[in-house]
């Protein structure tokens, strides 16, 4: 786990770290993560290095205003030039505490040394779901893995 200091927190995640983590989590929970890089995957975005891009599958209602269960999110790691998440971006985060280890997609709002991660759901049970990250004190709990570029849905074969 990386240590975060101030505003440079987003740059701490490298593509190789993300791919390794997603592969491990994907092996444990194959209904959530896809790191597809095959020729049949969605075309890569020319603005970012291909090796910095990855896809994850949406699992659950937490961002259903943007993408639905089973849809794919095309993301780029923060180490790619111009990919550092900004206030208002949809981001993929890793959350870890004593009881759990989760990968989530949430809307990021940054206020000074704090980041708020909110769900984007029209489900009343999840509309007010948010997490607050104090970047100076909660360095071991959160890590931004990527910035979401767009969502897409695979067509049935």
- Tell me how far CA of residue 68 lies from CA of 42, 61, 64, 153, in angstroms: 17, 7, 5, 9
User: So what's the pLDDT on residue 62?
Assistant: 87
pLDDT of 17 > 80? The answer is no
More confident residue, 80 or 67: 67
| Rounded distance between C-alpha atoms, residue 107 and residue 17, angstroms | 22
Instruction: Examine residue 66 and state whether it is found in any structural domain, yes or no.
Output: yes
Q: Assess if residue 124 is contained within a domain.
A: yes
Q: Is residue 75 part of a domain?
A: yes
Residue closest to 35 by CA, chosen among 57, 17, 11, 12: 57
**Does some domain include residue 1?**
no
How many domains does the chain contain in total?
1
Helices (H), strands (E): how many in the chain?
1, 8
pLDDT at 25: 54
Domain presence at residue 157 = no
For the cut 50, the answer to whether the pLDDT of residue 33 exceeds it is no
26 or 78, greater pLDDT: 78
Please state, in angstroms and rounded to a whole number, the distance separating the CA atoms of residues 1 and 110.
21
**Is residue 42 situated within a structural domain?**
no
Domain of 75, CATH number, reads: 2.10.109.10
Q: Is the pTM of this model over 0.85?
A: no
Distance CA 93, CA 72 (A): 16
Range of the domain at 17: 6-37+50-152
pLDDT at 102: 85
> Is pLDDT above 80 for 16?
no
CB 92 within 8 A of CB 108: no
Pair of tokens at residue 78: 């923060």
The C-alpha atoms of residue 83 and residue 144 are separated, in whole angstroms, by: 11
Q: Confidence band (pLDDT; 50, 70, 90) for 136?
A: confident
State the pairing for strand pair 130-134/53-57. Answer: unpaired
pLDDT at 146 (0 to 100): 92
In a domain, 45, yes or no: no
**Confidence band, pLDDT 50/70/90 cuts, at residue 27:** very low
Provide the pLDDT for residue 12.
Answer: 38
């Amino acid at each position: 786990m990386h240590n975060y200091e101030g505003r440079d927190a987003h740059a701490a995640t490298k593509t190789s770290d993300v791919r390794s983590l997603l592969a491990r989590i994907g092996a444990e929970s194959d209904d959530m993560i896809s790191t597809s890089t095959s020729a049949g995957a969605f075309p890569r975005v020319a603005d970012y290095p291909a090796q910095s891009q990855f896809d994850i599958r949406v699992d659950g209602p937490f961002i259903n205003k943007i993408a639905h269960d089973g849809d794919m999110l095309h993301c780029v790691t923060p180490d790619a030039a111009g990919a550092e998440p900004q206030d208002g971006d949809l981001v993929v985060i890793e959350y870890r505490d004593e009881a759990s280890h989760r990968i989530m997609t949430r809307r990021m709002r940054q206020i000074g040394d704090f980041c708020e991660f909110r769900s984007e759901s029209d489900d009343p049970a999840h509309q007010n779901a948010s997490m607050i990250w104090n970047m100076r004190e909660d360095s071991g709990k959160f890590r931004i893995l990527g910035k979401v570029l767009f969502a897409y849905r695979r067509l049935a074969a």
